[in-house]
Structure 1
Amino acid sequence: MSRRYLLPILAAVGLAIGVVAVIRENRTSQPARPAVQPAAGPFTSFVAGAGIIEPSSGNVAVGTPVPGIVKRVFVKWGDWVRAGEPLLQIDDRDLRARLPSALARKKEAAARFEQARVQLRIADSVPDRRAISLEELETRRAAVAIASAALEGAQAEIEQLKAETSRRTIRAPEQGRILRVEVRPGEFAPSGAPSTPLLELGDDRQFHVRVDVDEHDAWRVRAGAAAVASVPGNPNLRTSLHFMRIEPSLVRKTSLTGSSTERVDTRVLQVIYRFDPERLPEVYIGQQMDVWIQVAPESAGSRAPRVGKP
C-alpha cells in the first residue's frame, strides 16, 4: 500500500520545490545601496573627467649623467630644496685617485716652462747677437711655446677631473619638495632615463589637476571654463578650480578609473586646472579626482578653441 503512494508523494514534493524556486527567482530584489553616494554634477551642462593631482612644476624625475654606486643621499622624503642644492652623490674615489698625479704633472710642466723661459731670457739678453745663432734663438722660443702648451694641458686635465667630480654630485634642477626617494647608499644608479626615477621633486605650493576629457567631448571644452573637483568616495570634499591651459594635442589615455564601462582604447584632451592645497588639505599628489567642467548646452554649431592661455 505504501509503495502505491510513494511515487505520487515524491512527485508532489518535487513540484512544490520547483514552484517555490520559481517564485523566489522571480521575486523583485531590492537594489543594493552604494557605500558612498556618487557626487552630483554642480553644473546644468558639464563634461566629466578623471583628474590627477600633480605639483605646479610637474613631477621632476631626477637622474644621474654618469652611472655608479651611490655614495650618499643628502635628502629625504618631504624635504624642501632650492635649485642647486645637492641631492645625492655618486662614488668618486676613482677620480680623486687620479687628481694627485695630475697635480704632479702640472707641477712638472710648470717647472719645464719656467726653465725654458729662463733659457730664452738668457739668449735674448746676450749683447752680441753673433754669440748665438738665430736657429738657437728660435729653438728656445719654440721650447717656451711647447712648455706653455704642456702646462695648459696639465691644467686642463685637472679642471676636467674637477668637473667630472662635480658631476658625481647630483643637484636639484629647481626648487621643490622631495616627493620620492627610490635609491639608497650602496645601490647602483644607472644613467639615462630609468623606469623608476632615483628621486622625484615638485613645487607643491600650488596643486595642478590634469583632467582627461574624452576625445568625443573635447570639442565642447572651452578655455577659461569653470570647473569643480571632488574626492572620490567623499563628494563633500570638493573645491572650485582655476583654469590654466589646454594642452595642444590629444594623447592616449593612461589614467584609469577602474570603472567596468570605462573606455581604454581612446584618446583624451588634457585640461590643466589649479587650486590652493590649503582649501583641500585631505588630498595628495598623485591622487585621482572627479572633475566637472562647465560647458554650453550641446550644439552642433558650437566650437571650442584648441589652446587656452592662463
Structure 2
Amino acid sequence: MPVLAVVALVFAVIQMTKAQQKAPPAAPPVEPAKSPYANQLAGSGIVEPETENISIGTHVPGIVDRVFVKVGQIVRPGQPLFRLDDRALSAELAIREATLANSQASLERLRQMPRPEEIPPAEAKVNEADANLKDMAKLYERYRKFAASSAVSDEELVRREMAVEVAKAQFAKAKADLDLLKAGSWRFEQDVATVAVRQAAAQVEQTRTELDRLIARVPNMKFTEPLSALAGGLAGVDDSPFEVLQVNVRPGEYVGTVSGQAMIVLGYVGKMHVRVDIDENEIARFRPGVSGVAKPRGEPNQEYALSYVRVEPYVIPKKSLTGGNTERVDTRVLQVIYSLDRKGRTLFVGQQMDVFLNSGEKK
C-alpha cells in the first residue's frame, strides 16, 4: 500500500507539471498583412471595376431564348447580351406591317385617282345621256304638234314631256359623274387615309420597339473622366469595351423585372478600383488625397500602390465584416475609392484586400 501511494503521488505530480506547461504558440498558415506606415488608417477594401459593377436587367419578363455572351468576353455598347422569346410579337409585327401596307396602298390609290381607263366609259355615258335627251326632245316636239289636231291625248303629251325631264336629269347626272371622276379624290379623304397610314406606321414602330426591348444590350455610357488603356484614355467616349464578369441567366429560364436581380454583370476592368471602408471612429483622422497600399488576403507580400480617386460622402452601414474582435454590426463606414496598378498581376473583381492609408510618414 505505501508503494502504491508513492507511485500514485509521483504520477499525479508528473501530470500536474505537464498540465501547467504552456503549449508553444501555433504559427498561422499565412502571416497577416503588416502596415508599412508608422501612422496609419487601416480598412478592408473590395476590388471593383473602374466603372463599378454594371448589373444588367430586363425591360420585360419572359422566357430566355438565347444568351449571346459568356463570362470573360469583351463587349461594346449596343452589343446584344441575351434575348427573350419573341414569337408572339413577331407574329403581331407581321399583322401590323400588312395593315400598314394596306393603308399605304389605299392612300396611293386616292392620290392616283382617276385611272385613265375610267375616263372613256364615263364620257360614253355622258354621250349616251345626251343622245337620249335629244331623242326624247324631238319625240316630245312631234307629239306636241299632233296635240293641236287632237291626234294625241293630253296624257300622252304629259308623259313625253316628263320623259324629256328625266332625260335631262340623266344627262346632268352623267356629266356630274364625269366631272367628279376627273376631279380625283377629295382632299379630306386623302387626309383621312394619311392619318390611317401614320397610325399603322406608329403601331408597327411600337411593335418593333417592344421586340427590341426583348433584347438586353450593353448600355451606352459616357464618362466625364478618362478611362484607361482599352479606351485610349479619352474622356466622354461612348464605345468603351466592357468585360462580362458574371452571367446568371440561361436559355429556357424565366426572368422578371425584379429590382436588384442582375442577369449579367459588366465592368470596365482596364484599371481596377478598390472601395475602402473607413470606420466611423476613424473618419476624423482621414484626409482626402492620402496615399496608401493594398495587400490581398492570403498574400501579405504582394503590395499594390493606391492612388486616390474620390470619396463617397455618404456614410453607410458596414456590410463587409472581417471578424475582428472590436467590430460591431451596427458600425457605419465612409467609403473611399482608390485606383491601383495591377502591374500584370492577377486580381479579381470582388476580391477582398487589406488596405493601409498613410496618415504620417513611412517607417
Alignment map for 1:36-185 (pairs within 5 Å): 36-117=30-111, 140-174=186-220, 175-185=241-251
- The Cα shift of 1:222 comes to 0.6
Conserved? CA contact 1:95–1:164, under 8 Å: yes
Larger radius of gyration: 2
SS at structure 2 position matched to 1:216: helix
Q: Which residue of 1 aligns with 2:350?
A: 286
d(CA) in 2 for partners of 1:228, 1:24 = 46
- The Cα shift of 1:70 comes to 1.1
Identity percentage of aligned residues: 41
Q: Deviations over 1:182-203 (max 9, x none)?
A: 11111112124344x1111101
Conserved? CA contact 1:215–1:269, under 8 Å: yes
Conserved? CA contact 2:291–2:308, under 8 Å: yes
Residues 217-226 or 146-155, more deviating: 146-155
User: Which runs of 5 or more residues in structure 2 are unaligned?
Assistant: 116-171, 178-182, 221-240
Conserved? CA contact 2:280–2:331, under 8 Å: yes
Task: Name the aligned partner's letter for residue 81 of structure 1.
Answer: V
Task: Name the aligned partner's letter for residue 160 of structure 1.
Answer: Q
Task: Name the aligned partner's letter for residue 167 of structure 1.
Answer: R
d(CA) in 1 for partners of 2:329, 2:12 = 44
How does the TM-score come out when normalised to structure 2? 0.70
Q: Which residue of 1 aligns with 2:327?
A: 262
Task: Name the aligned partner's letter for residue 289 of structure 1.
Answer: M
Residues 288-297 or 219-228, more deviating: 288-297
d(CA) in 2 for partners of 1:12, 1:172 = 85
User: Which runs of 5 or more residues in structure 1 are unaligned?
Assistant: 122-127, 298-310
d(CA) in 1 for partners of 2:285, 2:17 = 50
Conserved? CA contact 1:245–1:271, under 8 Å: yes
What value does the CA root-mean-square deviation take over the aligned residues? 2.8
d(CA) in 1 for partners of 2:193, 2:3 = 121
Higher share of residues assigned strand = 1
d(CA) in 2 for partners of 1:13, 1:158 = 103
How does the TM-score come out when normalised to structure 1? 0.81
d(CA) in 1 for partners of 2:202, 2:194 = 12
Q: Which residue of 1 aligns with 2:267?
A: 202
Q: Which residue of 1 aligns with 2:336?
A: 271
d(CA) in 2 for partners of 1:225, 1:249 = 19
- The Cα shift of 1:158 comes to 0.7
Conserved? CA contact 2:304–2:341, under 8 Å: no
Task: Name the aligned partner's letter for residue 287 of structure 1.
Answer: Q
- The Cα shift of 1:65 comes to 0.5
SS at structure 2 position matched to 1:247: strand
- The Cα shift of 1:118 comes to 5.5
* Aligned pairs, number: 280
- The Cα shift of 1:167 comes to 1.3
Conserved? CA contact 2:61–2:257, under 8 Å: yes
Q: Deviations over 1:135-174 (max 9, x none)?
A: xx9x944333222211111111111111111111111015
Q: Deviations over 1:211-251 (max 9, x none)?
A: 11110001111111010111222211112110001111111
Conserved? CA contact 1:69–1:91, under 8 Å: yes
Task: Name the aligned partner's letter for residue 163 of structure 1.
Answer: T
Task: Name the aligned partner's letter for residue 24 of structure 1.
Answer: K
RCO higher in structure (CA 8 A, sep ≥6):
2
Q: Deviations over 1:255-304 (max 9, x none)?
A: 1223455332200111110012225x13211111111001149xxxxxxx
Q: Which residue of 1 aligns with 2:232?
A: none
d(CA) in 2 for partners of 1:69, 1:250 = 40
d(CA) in 2 for partners of 1:225, 1:294 = 6
